[in-house]
Amino acid sequence: MTDKVKLGLALLLVVAGIAGFYFLRDSALVIRVASVLAGIGAAVAVTWFTEPGKQFFAFAQESTTETKKVVWPTRKETFQTTGVVFLFVVVMALFLWIVDAGLLLVVQLLMGRSE
């Protein structure tokens, strides 16, 4: 139950930050944006102390750890893969253009509108 109250409070803090953005419409944009960021920061701080918040932050840390384990492709592999994709797109575009032109010709012949 206390987690639900804390999450509700976090939501209210975000809403308060956004409301502050509009309430301070005559202030500088930096202050207005700081109002939103302060609301989000306070909401994150409150969420940190809830069980769902702890689970989320643990999940985020595990995701970061797993991301570091990924073997990322080299620059050369990336360019080669991108080149193959672009080549496939061009070949497929040409194929579809030829099929479209062929079907157009067939339809024109069937309708007796050959030029």
16 by Cβ neighbours in 10 Å (0-12 / 13-18 / 19+) ranks as middle
Classify residue 55 by its DSSP letter. Answer: H
Give pTM, 2 decimals.
0.54
The 10s digit of each residue's pLDDT in 32-41 is 999 999 999 9
Distance CA 89, CA 22 (A): 47
Statement: residue 115 has pLDDT above 80: no
Statement: residue 80 has pLDDT above 70: yes
Residue range 54-67: mean pLDDT, rounded: 92
Whole-number pLDDT of residue 114: 63
Statement: residue 89 has pLDDT above 90: yes
Residue range 90-103: mean pLDDT, rounded: 98
Higher pLDDT, 74 or 2: 74
The continuous run of DSSP H or E covering 98 comes out as: helix 75-110
Classify residue 30 by its DSSP letter. Answer: H
